[in-house]
């Protein structure tokens, strides 16, 4: 079985980049796998904790994935709008899938909104959980 972290990241990138409602927020939300950009608003994907579960019927992967949203708009509204849309788009019950894997769980476990250390940016850390076989 192929390790699912890379296909999960690719599926997240495609889903977030192609979601019309997300891209309508502030003229578009850029999606990266690093924070080396000064463009706002933006999302950072790709930070995962992966646990292999050995089962009698085969291997399963429990993946805790973090998506971080960054906004420089005044107030916290834009950051909350982005977080809400990310939670919707990356939910298994809303149709999010990872090609090559069966998803038995895919949901937002929590999110935390906070002021970034730079004092200018509102950040949101969205914690997602997936179980893939």
In this predicted model, what pLDDT tens digit does every residue of 74-112 receive, in sequence order? 999 999 999 999 999 999 999 999 999 999 999 999 999
Band the pLDDT of 1: cuts 50, 70, 90: low
- The enclosing domain of 115 has a CATH number of 3.30.2000.30
Least confident of 33-47, 66-80, 105-119: 33-47
Domain that holds residue 32: 5-132
Percent pLDDT > 90 in the chain is 86
- Interatomic CA distance for residues 83 and 111, integer angstroms: 8
Please report the beta strands in the chain, taking only residues with DSSP state E, as ranges in sequence order: 30-32, 42-55, 58-71, 103-115, 122-132
Whether 36 has a pLDDT exceeding 60, the answer reads: yes
Q: How many domains does the chain have?
A: 1
Band the pLDDT of 125: cuts 50, 70, 90: very high
What is the spatial order of strands in the sheet that 103-115 belongs to? 30-32, 42-55, 58-71, 122-132, 103-115
């Amino acid at each position: 079985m192929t390790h699912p972290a890379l296909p999960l990241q690719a599926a997240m990138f495609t889903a977030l980049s192609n979601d019309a409602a997300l891209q309508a927020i502030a003229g578009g939300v850029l999606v990266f796998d690093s924070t080396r950009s000064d463009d706002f608003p933006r999302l950072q994907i790709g930070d995962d904790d992966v646990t292999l579960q050995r089962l009698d019927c085969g291997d399963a992967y429990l993946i805790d994935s973090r998506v971080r949203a960054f906004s420089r708009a005044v107030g916290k509204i834009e950051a909350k709008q982005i977080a809400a849309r990310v939670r919707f788009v990356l939910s298994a019950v809303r149709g999010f899938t990872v090609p090559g894997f069966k998803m038995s769980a895919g949901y937002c476990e929590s999110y935390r909104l906070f002021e970034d250390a730079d004092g200018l940016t509102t950040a949101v850390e969205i914690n997602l959980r997936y179980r893939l076989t």
